[in-house]
């Protein structure tokens, strides 16, 4: 048996048609507004790009006036080659400064009782090559030079100074850098009713 539907398609009520039209109209409005927003922001972005590009061009023009001539790649390589030795020397000076601070700390730790230092001089270590030859030729001292006084007579003061020099030589950190500690007594004088012995200690680098 066959069922044949001879009733025509159901007609959409007028109220529902109005709702569907409103939904479609609202969706179309959202689409139009979204499209306009995209167009607006795209135009704004292009405008900002143009502004930035013009500013960059202006900056390049100003720089070309202040610094005429742009260096080529070869010129830049030459400039870098000139700067490299200076950079290496700066690194060496920084390393020496760190070494100096460590050496000063170790010297201070070795100072015995009744001794005060008037001068502590830590010179730069000679570098390899021509600089070392120039330093050697000049006869200048490179190492740790100490000058101080000890509250004691000549005999006891001399023993304290020699103990101080031995402590400098035996210090684990200082012994890496200095070869020996040579001490010299510079004279006895009376200060405030007490005997004070002056001394100098020279610790050359290895």
CB 91 within 8 A of CB 98: no
Of the two residues 153 and 66, the one the predictor is more confident about is: 153
Could you read off the pLDDT of 2-50 as tens digits, one per residue? Answer: 555 544 555 545 555 455 555 566 666 677 677 776 776 666 666 777 7
pLDDT, position 49: 76
pLDDT, position 172: 92
Distance between CA atoms of residues 153 and 114, nearest Å: 12
- What tokens does 192 get? 């405030």
Distance between CA atoms of residues 85 and 29, nearest Å: 70
Of the two residues 94 and 81, the one the predictor is more confident about is: 81
Query: E strand or H helix at 123, and its extent?
Result: none
């Amino acid at each position: 048996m066959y069922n044949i539907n001879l009733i025509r398609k159901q007609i959409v009520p007028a109220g529902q048609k109005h709702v569907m039209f409103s939904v479609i109209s609202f969706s179309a409005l959202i689409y139009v507004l979204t499209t306009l927003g995209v167009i607006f922001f795209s135009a704004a972005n292009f405008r900002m790009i143009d502004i930035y590009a013009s500013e960059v061009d202006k900056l390049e023009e100003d720089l070309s006036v202040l610094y005429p001539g742009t260096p080529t790649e070869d010129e830049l390589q030459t400039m870098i080659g000139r700067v490299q030795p200076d950079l290496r020397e700066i690194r060496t000076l920084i390393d020496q400064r760190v070494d100096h601070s460590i050496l000063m700390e170790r010297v201070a730790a070795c100072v015995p009782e009744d001794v005060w230092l008037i001068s502590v001089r830590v010179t730069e270590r000679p570098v390899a090559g021509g600089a070392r030859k120039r330093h050697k030729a000049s006869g200048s001292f490179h190492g740790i030079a100490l000058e101080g006084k000890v509250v004691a007579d000549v005999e006891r003061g001399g023993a304290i100074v020699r103990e101080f020099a031995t402590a400098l030589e035996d210090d684990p950190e200082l012994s890496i850098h200095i070869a020996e500690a040579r001490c010299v007594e510079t004279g006895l004088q009376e200060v405030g009713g007490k005997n004070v012995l002056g001394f100098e200690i020279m610790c050359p680098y290895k």
